[in-house]
Chain A
């Protein structure tokens, strides 16, 4: 009890409609330590940090700074308490210089004129002290991602923050830059700063953190000392042993090859490297192949490349013997590719359209729904939508004429699943098909996916949920940094082993 904590978050509970994002979570950050916060996507890490940063107000729980209860109503309060954060996506003004960005919001002024010379001196001193090399006069748009990050760190130091939050800081860095960042973090801790390091990369946590708290599905699992633990233990704590959703399925009977991918390479939009690097695999009829991996390792871009949403930089895609490398999206779709997209609001639905109009989004141009003169056959569309709604149990306020925006997420997703499956595809690409859904909807969608497999279709499932991967797949391909680093058999592998591959701690043939 004598131990003084820089920040304590005690019994924090934060609810959103339908889910408890943080369920009675306690996090205690000691002075001068590097404390890792570990958890899968959706485990509640970001919510917890948003609570600390004043972006959300918790329903229950208290926050203490240096033993005193404090109230953080907005980010300004957080700043005043010396809490600073480096966001995953940097918050810098691209067309400003590094110095301008650092002083932004706390510009030293005298009679309304900026006193930059003074600021520059302070920034250079800080940069020297912590080994944060930046060029204060360079424009942010011209400098490397690593230097942008150092600028963000200097921003916190310039404001004399004592508690530094790093939100997945290594996601965008090269291995050399990561090593450099680790050293910087150690220096900062040695100078007495307290650091919260949010990550799901086990290697990094093992190498830099003193202690680690683990969250899973909004619940607090525990806090361990890094020197008393192992990667395996952390991985087990992160994903949990018990598989929550049991899906009954017969052993797969794979048939002919449906999809063949050779040397697929897709450029990244956020950085100069390729997001997908020379990936090859096949999907056969009657099997579910699952791409597992932590978010941002190239899965999204892989799917964009396969479905034609993004152009390829290299490689070849063959669907049922036909080369579709350069085929249009419509062509791929009519050749038998269905796509349950990752983002149902961005891609999956026209939210301001009615449910019935959304149901025919992939088929409205077929003679069944449009006559030769180009008029839509409204009655046919209504009947078709009605059938899908009944068959797939899509619930909505006014049936076919409900505006899609007003439907619940689960029913929106069911509508998409119905549309894509009823197209009678040869290949079903399902990306995060159960994201943000309740247990009932998840079960239903899992059953539909297995039914597609049993009907002899090829299924490519991309999922970030390990439970889903283990429950559904017949074959697992693990993606890490744009490459397939392992092929696993879900019957013989363990969640722990899968976790190691996903975190980049292990790779085949290495």
Chain B
């Protein structure tokens, strides 16, 4: 019985889940304390609003509709977290998911608005653009030993301003936003889900095949990493580069390929959001969209497991959306971002908690072993 309990706690997935839940709990607690400090009167309500998200609406139809809206933004977040996770498994830190997301948005919107392409071409263009950008970081690392974090951060900014410039050609005359996609090129809108599914979200028009597609991609990435020769090679490279080299894996090829796939995933995520028409690109924006960075948090909160990231991505998007409903008369408009940022920040501690849990159990086992060894010794002398 005891043996079983121990092995369950040793299980990696169980550990990840426990650690993730702990992070969420602490995050909410810290958030609550901060709200208390700012304005004690509304803190309880504000934190419950954040956790409730769309449940704050009393009408069932509105609830369903805003569940749909949360899912619309969960899909790209999931793709970004897959991007980060995939690179991380191969020993690379793709902080460039943000930039790859930006070029994905740029490529898909330009193909849709300027070239009048159908949605699948737009999506493929986004993937290609993201893969190319990722590959640039990969090549720099492979052949010039440029740390991928540095090159990614710089490419993030280059991407942002390049995309701003590109999309300025297809923006509305009177606003900084790109043209309305549904009016300009309805073919570029991602296909809706079958009508019986749409009913689940009260016919929220922005819920498209992007949602199931993102989940499918998560499963695909899991299969790729766990079941294929390519996953075997990439993970071996991530765990021990010297050993991968020793057994003849081509590390440079693998490195570039990893970054390209990783970039493609993030960019595909961008197309999943912008091709719904849910958002328009603001051509004057001077900060990189947070989606790629939140992907890092989602990847870690999900225990670096592709299937875990499905849940973690949803959770992060859930509280981010929930933050928008906080009473603005009591707290400033930025409070929602602040609280969700706090929780996301604490999500980064998943690995730390896992480590702490493991070393605690190691110590306990060590003690038990020492005690039983002592017992044996005692038994021996008694004989």
Q: Is the CB of B227 within 8 A of A376?
A: yes
Query: Taking the complex as formed, is B338 at the interface, i.e. its CB lies under 8 A from any CB of chain A?
Result: no
Q: Mark B241-262, 1 if CB is under 8 A from A, else 0.
A: 0111111111000000000000
Residues on B with C-beta less than 8 A from A348 are: 243, 246
- Contact residue among A329, A352, A378 (Cβ-Cβ distance under 8 Å from B245): A329
What separation, in Å, do the CA atoms of A362 and B245 have in the docked complex?
A: 11
Give every chain B residue within 8 A of A362 (Cβ-Cβ): 247-248
Would you list which residues of chain B between 214 and 253 have a CB under 8 Å from chain A?
Answer: 227-230, 232, 235-236, 239-240, 242-250
On whether A330 and B232 interact (CB within 8 A), knowing A350-B243, A353-B239, A375-B227, the answer reads no
Q: Is the CB of A361 within 8 A of B229?
A: no
Bitwise interface map of A from 334 to 361 toward B, beta carbon under 8 Å scored 1, else 0 = 0000010100001111111100010001
Chain A stretch 340-393: residues in CB contact (< 8 A) with chain B: 341, 346-353, 357, 361-362, 364-365, 370, 374-376, 378
B246 proximity list for chain A (CB < 8 A): 307, 309, 329, 339, 341, 347-348
Once the chains bind, are B243 and A346 in contact (CB under 8 Å)? Answer: yes
* Of the residues A328, A333, A350, contact of B239 by C-beta under 8 Å: A350
Contacts of A351 in B (CB 8 A): 239-240
Chain B positions within 8 Å of A330 at CB level:
247-250
Docked Cα-Cα span, A109 to B9, in Å, equals 54
Contact A353 B248 (CB under 8 A): no
A309-B245, A339-B246, A361-B247 as given contacts; A350 in contact with B228, CB under 8 Å: no
Interface-central residue, A346, A350, A361, A375, by most chain B CB under 10 Å:
A350
Chain B residues within an 8 Å CB radius of A347: 242-243, 245-246
Q: How far is the CA of A223 from the CA of B247 in the complex (A)?
A: 46
Expressed in whole angstroms, the minimum distance between the Cβ of B167 and any Cβ of chain A is: 38
A308: nearest residue on chain B (CB-CB)? B248
From B244, which residue of chain A is reached at the shortest CB distance?
A350
Cα separation A352 to B245 with both chains bound (whole Å): 16
- Sample of 14 further A-B pairs with CB below 8 A, known A347-B242, A353-B236: A329-B245, A346-B242, A346-B243, A347-B245, A350-B236, A351-B240, A353-B239, A357-B232, A357-B236, A362-B248, A374-B228, A375-B229, A376-B228, A378-B227
Q: Is the CB of B243 within 8 A of A365?
A: no
Q: Please, which residues of chain B bring their CB within 8 A of the CB of A331?
A: 248
Q: Which residues of B contact A361 (CB under 8 A)?
A: 236, 243, 247
Interface of A toward B, CB cutoff 8 Å = 307, 309, 328-333, 339, 341, 346-353, 357, 361-362, 364-365, 370, 374-376, 378
Q: In the complex, A353 Cα to B238 Cα: how many Å?
A: 11
A residues near B248, Cβ cutoff 8 Å: 328-333, 362
- Cβ contacts under 8 Å, B236 to chain A: 350, 353, 357, 361
Residue pairs across A and B with Cβ atoms less than 8 A apart, 22 shown, are A309-B245, A329-B245, A329-B246, A330-B250, A331-B248, A333-B248, A341-B246, A346-B240, A348-B243, A350-B236, A350-B239, A350-B240, A350-B244, A351-B239, A352-B239, A353-B236, A361-B247, A362-B247, A362-B248, A364-B229, A374-B228, A375-B229
A376 near B243 with CB under 8 A, answer: no
Give the complex CA separation of A350 and B246 in angstroms.
Answer: 11
**Which of B229, B239, B250 interacts with A370 by CB under 8 Å?**
B229
Complex Cα gap A347–B250 (Å)? 15
Instruction: State in angstroms the CA–CA spacing of A365 and B41 once bound together.
Output: 64
A350 to B242, CA, bound (A): 9
**How far, in Å, is A212 (CB) from chain B's closest CB?**
38
A352 to B241, CA, bound (A): 12
Q: Name B247's closest neighbour in chain A (CB-CB).
A: A361
How far, in angstroms, from A365 to B233 measured CA to CA in the complex?
10
Most B Cβ at <10 Å: residue of A348, A349, A361, A362:
A361
Distance between Cα atoms of A426 and B235 in the complex (Å) = 30
Whether the Cβ atoms of A376 and B239 lie closer than 8 Å is: no
| Nearest chain A residue, comparing its CB with the CB of B240 | A350
Bound CA span A364–B230, Å: 10
Least CB distance, B36 to chain A, in whole angstroms: 42
Instruction: Name the distance in Å between B4's Cβ and chain A's nearest Cβ.
Output: 15
Contacts of A374 in B (CB 8 A): 228-230
Residues of A within 8 A of B245 (CB): 309, 329, 347
Say how far A17's CB is from chain B's closest CB, in angstroms. 12
Q: How distant is the Cα of A370 from the Cα of B250 in the complex, in angstroms?
A: 18
Cα A329 to Cα B250 with chains together (Å):
9
Chain B residue numbers with a CB within 8 Å of A378 are 227
Q: How far is the CB of A364 from chain B (nearest CB, A)?
A: 6
Q: Chain B residues with Cβ under 8 A from A376's Cβ?
A: 227-229, 232
Assembled-state Cα–Cα distance A330/B254 (Å): 15
In the complex, A302→B250 CA distance in Å?
Answer: 22
Q: How far is the CB of B231 from chain A (nearest CB, A)?
A: 8
Distance of A348 Cα from B243 Cα, bound (Å)? 6
Complex CA–CA separation, A309 to B249 (angstroms): 11
The answer for the CA separation of A346 and B232 in the assembled complex, in Å, is 18
Q: Could you tell me the distance in whole angstroms from the C-beta of B236 to the nearest C-beta in chain A?
A: 5
Complex CA gap A366/B242 in Å reads 21
Given the complex of chains A and B, what is the CA–CA distance between A351 and B236 in angstroms?
9
If A328-B248, A330-B248, A375-B227 touch, whether A364 touches B242 (CB-CB below 8 Å) is no
Nearest chain B CB to A409 CB, angstrom units: 16
Roughly how many angstroms separate A330 CA and B235 CA in the complex, as a whole number? 18
Report, nearest first, the 3 A-B pairs whose CB atoms are least far apart: A330-B248, A329-B248, A347-B246
A346 surroundings in chain B (CB, below 8 A): 240, 242-243
Taking CB atoms, residues of chain A closer than 8 Å to B244 are 350
Closest partner residue, chain B, to A349 (CB atom): B243
Q: Which residues of A contact B235 (CB under 8 A)?
A: 353
- What is the CA–CA distance of A339 and B236 in the complex, to the nearest angstrom? 18
- Closest A-chain residue to B223, C-beta based? A375
A339 to B235, CA, bound (A): 22
Q: Nearest chain B CB to A373's CB is how many angstroms away? A: 8
Closest to B224 in A: A374
CA of A328 to CA of B250 in the docked complex: distance in angstroms?
9
CB neighbours (8 Å) of B229 from chain A are: 364-365, 370, 374-376
Q: B228–A375 contact, CB under 8 A?
A: yes
Q: How far, in angstroms, from A328 to B248 measured CA to CA in the complex?
A: 7
- Which residues of chain A come closer than 8 Å to B230, judged between CB atoms? 374
Provide the residues of chain B in CB contact with A357, threshold 8 Å. Answer: 232, 236
